[in-house]
Amino acid sequence: MALHWLTLVAAIWLQCINGTNSNFPAYSSHLKRILSISQLKLNNLASANDAGKLFGWISGVAASYFPLWLVLLIGSLLGLIGYGVQFLFLTNQAHSLSYWHIFFLTVLAGNSICWINTVCYIITIRNFPFDRQIAVGLSTSYVGLSAKIYTDIVDVAAPASLSERAKLFLLLNSVLPLLVCIVVSPLARDVNVGKSRKLTRGFFTMFVISIITGLFAVITSLRAVVSGILPSYMILAGMLVILSLPLIVPMAEKMTEALQHKCLIVAVHDDEGFTTTLDEKAKDVESGRKNSIVVEGGVVEEVAPLLMLRRVEFWLYFFVYLFGATLGLVYVNNLAQIAESRGCSGTSSLVSLSSAFSFFGRLLPSFLDYFYPRSKRMVTRGGAIGVMMGPMCGAFFLLLDRQDVSLYVGTAIIGISTGAITSLSVSTTAELFGTKNFGVNHNIVVSNIPIGSFLFGDFAAVFYNRDRNQGHICMGQNCYQTTFILWGSLCLFGTFLAFILHLQTKKLWSHKSSTRQISVTDH
């Protein structure tokens, strides 16, 4: 069981460093100046940052044929090439790169994220089938801290120079995921252990640790508050210490196993009067487990990718995600230019704030699943996504206000909603279309991210260029006013589609619940 929890810790650490695409706003302005490109071309680079997800299904196919540790290393090597060559370009060690070279490298780097994500999702879904949403939400929540972690490192190493900070972000994007993947690759596997419903103590401890981590991230993101109290190196040291706390759960489990091992030996000899080896008992228990059905939420139909594309539920789900989480990601990609147009100098703080609140958003569905199991709720996953899209709609319209406080509040709300939808989507894909082809199916679903990034981002760039009034920089509330109105309206439409998806799948969940009872009786 200790190894069981270690795989979850491995997924958490992988997600901590896998949000490299969220660092794009931190170096995009510097890249724009060096390449001498327009805002529209810069937005296309932001879209390229997500375009790698169009080929994310390749990682799902690879996970079906190769060991997970190999899939993990392939993904990190792709990131090393994609971000590493861009780093060499910024440091003048690669002189002949054109805009389209950078575009291709950005696509490659974005695709590397899919490989690591696929491994994390498969680990948590296979090793925690009864508590899928809880395990997935806990692990994926930490990707919301990626921008915060990278920013903390940069604040220590390059606190002042904007050009040096941009270079360091790209260097970390290329090297850090590879190092972490090498460290945790032995744990990237399916662990055949007892898979009981609600591993209560372990998950509760993980929740406490995660909440402490998130609060620390949010508080230390408010630079104006903590800059005079805690130096940058102490913030970074505190973050690293907190990220090691999840190890408490497997360590405690190991101690419990050792104690139970000793007690069982005594019980076997003293109470039964004869020696039955622990191995034999373990085999008996495992035999019973093999005869049980391991699913969350009932019997799940396994749907092949081509069949999935012909389902009404898929297209409803696809557009719900497009007008929800994808819109939120497009907002984050444009956050640097949005802040610049409003005369707000705290771009790094906004990125960190968005990252920290995204962390809590990703954790929220797991928290609800733990304390309020799905069997007691009437809302499907699609309905839950619609609920989380409501506040995001309001946030886009709130951004029409000129005050900086509206920018910070709106960014925080969009971060929470985007994180929650992203977390819910993993379980939604598994419940709608099964887990057998999950690696391919979910990567097809999230292929809407580059599509939305291109469409919504280019729309924003067109209006930005139309209203610019100071050279290459647009200043004033009008730069993104029309964009926020459109994004808010699309989000409202996505909320309506989520309601339809809820109604469409509600009968399906009821059917699965009744089928599950029959299946368990047959077995």
pLDDT band at 199 (very low <50, low <70, confident <90, very high): low
pLDDT at 285 over 50: no
Per-residue pLDDT tens digits for 326-342: 999 889 878 878 888 88
Can you give the pLDDT at residue 518? 42
pLDDT band at 454 (very low <50, low <70, confident <90, very high): confident
Residue indicated by tokens 């090439």: 81
Residue 250 has pLDDT above 50, yes or no: yes
CB 509 within 8 A of CB 379: no
* Tens-digit pLDDT profile for residues 89-145: 888 887 778 889 999 999 999 999 999 999 999 998 888 877 887 888 889 888 878
Using the predicted structure, report yes or no on whether residue 261 has a pLDDT greater than 80.
no
Q: Examine the pLDDT at 490 and tell me if it is beyond 80.
A: yes
Q: How far apart are the C-alpha atoms of 189 and 122, rounded to whole Å?
A: 9
Per the structure block, which two tokens stand in for 372?
A: 């309020």
Lowest mean pLDDT among 262-271, 274-283, 456-465: 274-283
Name the token pair of 491. Answer: 């989000």
Give the pLDDT confidence score for residue 278 in this predicted structure.
42
Q: Which pLDDT does position 223 carry in this prediction?
A: 60
- Which tokens belong to 489? 């309206």
24 half-sphere exposure, CB direction, 13 A CA radius: 28
Q: Tokens representing 364?
A: 């929220």
- Highest mean pLDDT of the ranges 162-166, 222-226, 406-410: 406-410
Angstrom distance (rounded) from CA 158 to CA 400 = 34
Distance CA 217, CA 246 (A): 16
According to the model, what pLDDT value does residue 300 have? 59
Residue 264 confidence (pLDDT)? 62
Average pLDDT over residues 28-50: 80
What residue has token string 């699309």? 490
Is residue 185 scored above 70 in pLDDT? Answer: yes
pLDDT at 178: 95
